[in-house]
Structure formats: C-alpha cells, structure tokens
Structure 1
C-alpha cells in the first residue's frame, strides 16, 4: 500500500510518519507555503512559482502521484488544483481516496450554537454557505471522510456515507514529560493560534484579575514563536490553557498532555461522553474559567497527578501505533 497525504499542515506529516512505523509506504507533500511545511516529506509549494509555471508544475506532480501512490488522503478537502479538477482524474484512475476535515472548513456557526455553545466562533473566510457548498462538492467524489473528533462529526454527517473519527497523532518519542511539581509556584501558559477563536479575550482578564488580587502565580502568553520556542515554554508550565470556545481539544492540548502538563480547555457538555472516560482535561468555558482556574491553583497537590494522567492518555490514544492502526483499517475498506 502506497499512501500520499496532502496538501499541507502538521497533521498530514505526522500521519504519514505514523504509517511508516507500520511498514506502509506513506509520504506527505506540502503543496503551498505553510507554517508547518518543514515537517513534510516533500515541499513543492506551487504558490512560489510564476503563474505560467504553476499550472504545469501542478499537472506534473499530479501525474507523478498517480504513478506512485494507491491511496490519496486529502486534508482540509483541498487537492492538487485550486478548483480540484484533479479529483475527477484520480477517481477515474481507480485510486482510493478519502477526505479529512480538520476544522474551519466545516464548522458552521448556527449548527454549533444549536448544540448549546454560545461561545463558538468561525473564520470569516468560511461563511456557512461556502462551507455547505464545499461539502456538497466534495460529497460527489468521496463516500467516506475522516474527522478528528465528534465536534466536527456532526457538521459533515449529512454529506458522506461513512465518517471515521481518528484522533490527532504525534511522535511521542520527541516529547519528554516534564511533570509539574506539586506546590510549585504555578506558571499558567496560554498559546492561542487565533485569539478570536480560542477565547483569549476571556483568558487574559481573568489572569490579570487574579494577579491584582495577589494570587501567587505567573503567566505567559505564547504568540509569534517558532514551534521549538513554544515547546520550551510549555515545558516550564504548570498548566496550559487551550481554547475556551470551540468545545473540543486540539493539537495544543495534545502536546501539553504529551509533556505531562495539566490542561484547561472547553469540552462541550454533550461531547464529554464521546471521549474516553479517562480523559484528564479540566473543562472550562468563558463563564466559569475564573472559578476553574482558582480551584486548580488552590489544589496544588494534584498538579503532578493530572500531568501524569495526561501523558498516559496521550500514549494510549494519540500514539503513532494507535492512529496508524485506525488509518490502515480505513484504507483497506475504501
């Protein structure tokens, strides 16, 4: 089995690496400039070519891929060409194909709010009509789809015959746990990829309020850092605050747990039962974040236990072994 992951992102790169640990010939190709492009096996970046060259390059790499791969795994619903004309070509070549939705390209504000989540935000570049039109288009080419969690599942459910929930994966060997010490002076870290969707506007006022009251802790906002710089800060943290608005955890929470750090992140009430029972994330939304953080800081004898539970959870559910096995099962049934 020869599998190609594309067109960009950290997720495709780690999944390809996970599959290789199982003996699968898997590659990740980054087709455009992206923050995590350095992680891909091949960096092509059509957006850096002159317009007259770009079309020719896209076609050349499509033909190369058709010769070299049996399974095409498209992340974010994007492909070789902006208009995705290549999907028809790949389908007619009898290649196995699956689409992998990862967030903003499927998230719909009204639907999210219908699940009693008044805090959710969506990217302005993805209005609801655009999301629906995109999903309808993709459903003509894909019978099956993958999502990271059940928060995304319900957005795409009407569009595909079969939907698989496959968690994010990561190379845990690169994350040495740095468990917080009980009763240490806490360092609270918040690292938003986008302030407006992660709830930073709720996090910072609470941190400032507690500082003004004399609560003993420090905090650091992580923005504009390289991945390596950010990881160095995470390693020093006592607790990492992820998002407070979306209702599900993502890559930051996963990295934090891998490092043995307690995590505060909003998990939507109706989704809690969809996660494994041993998920150690401390849930908080904009309304109760202050109460949750106060309680966490006071219970300093639990810091390390929560951190260790997080590392164990990451090893069990986000390891290369766990996720690769799920992907292989899916590919075999395409």
Structure 2
C-alpha cells in the first residue's frame, strides 16, 4: 500500500505509524504543517498548507490511501476529499479530540455526567456538527483513538474503528537502573492547562506539600524529548483530571513503568480492559489519591510494573500498525 498521512503531526503518533507501516513493507509518508515547541523529528515531511496544495495532484496520482487527521483538510471547504475520492483513491478520517468533542454532550450523555470536562479548546458546536455531517456524507469509515471519541463519531459514520494510541515500547521503556530519590517526584506535562486541569493540580499539590514532602515538576512548552527525559525520573505522572479519558502522557508514563494518575469517566472505564492500572482522580479526589500514592512506595512500584504490561499489551506501535492495515483493507 502507498499511504499518505495528512496534514499534521499529533503527539508523535503519525511519525510512529509511518515508521511501523514502512517496517511492514508499505510506503507511508506523513505531512506536517504544525510546527511548535514539541520539535518533532524528520520522519515526516514538514511543510505548509501552500506547498501541500501545490503537490496534491501529484500525491493523488501516487498514493492509494489518504489518511486525514484531526478533522483537518487542505481546502477550507474540504473538497480536496471529494477530489481524492473522485480519483478512485481511498480516504479515512481520524478524529482525535477537539474536532469531535461536542461541548453539550461532553458534559452530559445518556449514561454519564462529567462536571469537570473543559471544552473551550473544542471547535464551536455547530461547526463540529457540520463537519461531521460533511465527512460522513462522503466517507463511510472513521477512526478514533478511544471510547470517549467513539460516542461522538458513531452517530454519523457507518463504520467507526478504535485505534489505540501507538507508542514505541522499545524506545520508551523503564530505566534499567534508577537511583533512589530523596523525595518522590511528581510530574505534570500539560499542552493545555485548562483542558488538563493544571490550575487545580497545582493548587492541590501545593496544599499536599504542606503535609508530605515531595518534588513537583511542571513541564510546559518544552520539546517532547525533554519531557520524556524528565518523566523517566518521575515516581508519579499526573496526566489530566478533567476529560475522562487518558491521553498520550498516560501512555508514555505507563510505558516508562511509572504510576499514572488520570481521570477516567466511570462509563468509559467500564469499557476499558479490567487490568488498566491508571489511578483515576478528578479535582475532588486528587488530594486523597495522590496522598495515598505518595505514602506507599510499594503500591507505586506495583502500578508501574502493571502500567508497563498494559502499554505493551494495548499500545505497542507494531501491533497498532497491523490493526491499522486491517482497517485500510476494509475501505
């Protein structure tokens, strides 16, 4: 297969998918027009919308599958999708969060209520609904990364596949030897403070530090490799306490063998594998959960080992790439 991922990188996942697809014998190329402090490597073709538009016709003649991400397209009116389809190529849209997180439904659904979720980063609700209507009119199949997003997309597309977040478990792995810390280290690495609940996390950790000594490290606007390096030294990693589903930081933390704290909405947690070792906490429970973890080193060690096994079982990029090939074969 000849596969083009476009038009942007998402947390290093597109590059990892391309690498694994190539290892399976396919030609996989990714475009990225998102250039920021995360400093993604050169696995992808870093470009801009103008250059991508100028090369679209050439891409159409060469690639078999066009894998769009995060609801973005090259044309503002999204008609590049129609052009690609008209040429007989296969297309799939991969929704990843704020492009489908409908604000009103994020707070309350048929089987859940989430008073913590922040949707200020989402597109306006009517735009989300309009986009979903357009994409599902032209595309039968969509991909999402978890059950939270599945519920938004399932009402529109004929087929919705859940593809777990991929991680290179050979590169991102626990340290062979770890020097003992004088105090536990808690790390929080938000890309969006409001979405992750950072202000509450800071407030709660400051309160807790008056009672229990520990180091709290806040990582913001630093390259991804710097973040991973700091996470390798952590004892506890706090991902987010609002959304209700774990993200990239949680996956990386588990792969590193760390204790991970992240809010899991109860209805979503019920659909996840029973062995998931993430400690669920929101702003009302974080103080107690974090205190329990800080006082119990053996518990942290057990959860870290379980997290590594969970990452290997559910997020190994090699396995995820094979799952993606199976999805492509249904298009």
TM-score scaled by structure 1?
0.92
Deviation at 1:252, TM superposition (A): 0.6
Give the number of aligned pairs.
324
Partner of 2:201: 203
User: Which residue, 21, 30, 53 being the options, matches 1:19?
Assistant: 21
Partner of 1:111: 105
Structure 2 CA distance, aligned partners of 1:110 and 1:300? 40
Partner of 2:41: 38
- After superposition, the Cα gap between the structure-2 partners of 1:263 and 1:39, relative to the gap in structure 1 and judged at 3 Å, is farther
Partner of 1:91: 85
Structure 1 CA distance, aligned partners of 2:167 and 2:59? 25
Within a 5 Å distance, the mapping from 1:1-334 to structure 2 comes to: 1-9=1-9, 10-34=12-36, 35=38, 37-46=40-49, 54=50, 57-114=51-108, 115-124=112-121, 126-178=123-175, 185-213=183-211, 215-334=212-331
Deviation at 1:183, TM superposition (A): 8.8
TM-score scaled by structure 2?
0.93
Q: Per residue, is there more helix in 1 or in 2?
A: 1
What's the C-alpha RMSD, in Å, of the aligned pairs? Answer: 1.8
Structure 1, gaps ≥5 residues long: 47-53
Deviation at 1:249, TM superposition (A): 0.5
- After superposition, the Cα gap between the structure-2 partners of 1:162 and 1:21, relative to the gap in structure 1 and judged at 3 Å, is same
Q: Give per-residue Cα distances to partners, 1:89-111, cap 9 Å, x unaligned.
A: 10111111100000001101211
Structure 2 CA distance, aligned partners of 1:309 and 1:144? 33
Structure 2, gaps ≥5 residues long: none
SS at match of 2:138: coil
- After superposition, the Cα gap between the structure-2 partners of 1:286 and 1:32, relative to the gap in structure 1 and judged at 3 Å, is closer
SS at match of 1:26: strand
Deviation at 1:38, TM superposition (A): 3.4
Contact 1:242 1:252 in 2 (8 A): yes
Q: Give per-residue Cα distances to partners, 1:3-29, cap 9 Å, x unaligned.
A: 111111232222112212221211111
- After superposition, the Cα gap between the structure-2 partners of 1:30 and 1:218, relative to the gap in structure 1 and judged at 3 Å, is same
Structure 2 CA distance, aligned partners of 1:266 and 1:181? 29
Structure 2 CA distance, aligned partners of 1:322 and 1:182? 34
Contact 2:95 2:143 in 1 (8 A): yes
Contact 1:184 1:300 in 2 (8 A): no
Q: Give per-residue Cα distances to partners, 1:123-176, cap 9 Å, x unaligned.
A: 356121111111111112211100000001111111100100001102222213
- After superposition, the Cα gap between the structure-2 partners of 1:136 and 1:249, relative to the gap in structure 1 and judged at 3 Å, is same
Structure 1 CA distance, aligned partners of 2:237 and 2:121? 27
Contact 2:119 2:195 in 1 (8 A): yes
